[in-house]
Amino acid sequence: MKILGHRGLPVLYKENTLQSLLAPFSFGADGIETDVRLTKDGVPVLIHDETLTNFCGAGVRVGDLTLAELKEYKSNGETIPTLEEFLKLAPKNRCLNIEVKEYEAGELSVLICKTFYEGEIIFSSFNHRLINELKERYSGLKFGYLFDEQHISMSDEEILALFDKNTYSAHLPVIGLLYFPERLVNIIKELKKREIKIVLWTVNSKNDIARITEYVDYVITDDVRIFL
């Protein structure tokens, strides 16, 4: 089971900053998960939220700022890094889970990762159409579908059908084990039969996955120290 820092190590540092994203590696983590959006001038940057409210208290949208303008906003001296900046600093031959937040950021993120990083990269998104398109276009890369409450209405058959071709992983919320334990476990077992990797987020206690540890391939956690 590989341990990935959720947006880095947010229990110690501001999430998605270089300080946070690089910290898990010093504790021996296998990698990190981070989010990608585009600036107004089309540069992929690493931030989860659509606005800067949680980052520095500014209610401005990331997509309304050029990169130069975005870099003027800071949190404890840290700015929001570009995808390229992070890739150039990240240790090689580790695992990066790149979550694409916006459709427009998809292909550019893939191309930048291919250019600047040597190691395992998994591209995931809640936008299943985007993943469908990318996995057809880049058959040699790893792609995964993210699921949350917006997908509850999907039938098990519809979920499993997504994994019929060239799909590496399923990214499932660990909280689903609390609300839909039987259904989620059954889906996980079926996916494992199809040799799909199981990624659980956000796991902040070993007890959260005690009953299904044998099926879990990747854990995304706010505090990698719990598992290391």
Contacts of 92 (CB under 8 A, 6+ apart): 117, 118, 119
Paired residues of 146 in beta bridges: 171
Both structure tokens of 157 = 């058959």
Closest CA to 220 of 122, 104, 103, 101: 122
Please state, in angstroms and rounded to a whole number, the distance separating the CA atoms of residues 114 and 94. 14
Contacts of 25 (CB under 8 A, 6+ apart): 32, 90, 91, 94
Report yes or no: 31 and 57 within 8 Å, Cβ to Cβ.
Answer: no
Query: % helix / strand / coil in the chain, to the nearest 5?
Result: 40, 25, 35
151 is catalytic: no
Catalytic residue, candidates 6, 128, 151, 171: 6
Exposure letters 66-93 (e unless 16+ CB within 10 A, then b): ebeebeebebeebbbbbbbbbbeebeee
Type of residue found at 56: C
Catalytic residue, candidates 48, 128, 151, 171: 48
Please state, in angstroms and rounded to a whole number, the distance separating the CA atoms of residues 209 and 87. 30
Residue numbers annotated as active site: 6, 48
